[in-house]
Amino acid sequence: MSQQGLAEGQSCPVCSLGGVLDLEVTSEADLVDGRTVVVHGVPTFVCGRCGVELFDDATTRTLEAFYEHAANDKARTFIVDYSTLRSRAAS
């Protein structure tokens, strides 16, 4: 879920009960055609109460661009670190 302007300690926009924590998580996606994408170290806000994971808009755009790349590649499995995706997007 994408969330703009969220900061650690704010109330969760989903449950309104928990405070969000600024963490890094592993994001996994199974694409429609059977490809699997695993991205380690994704910056994420996580609610301490309901556990919902929220990505800021820039992170969401970076992940979506890589998922699109993966969908057009012949490889079946992708395992990458988020920092390499950001480096690729910056160049």
- 20/6 Cα distance (integer angstroms): 8
Total of domains in the chain: 1
- 70 inside domain: yes
pLDDT at 73: 87
pLDDT in tens, 25-82: 999 988 878 889 999 999 999 999 999 999 988 999 999 999 888 888 888 999 999 9
- 74 inside domain: yes
- 86 inside domain: yes
- 36 inside domain: yes
- 82 inside domain: yes
Tokens linked to 91: 């160049």
By three-state DSSP, how is residue 44 classified?
strand
**Interacting residues of 89 by C-beta distance below 8 A, sequence separation 6+:** 62, 65
pLDDT at 69: 87
pLDDT at 4: 63
- 2/89 Cα distance (integer angstroms): 19
pLDDT at 71: 85
Structural domain that includes position 51: 20-90
- 64 inside domain: yes
- 6 inside domain: no
pLDDT > 80? residue 1? no
- 68 inside domain: yes
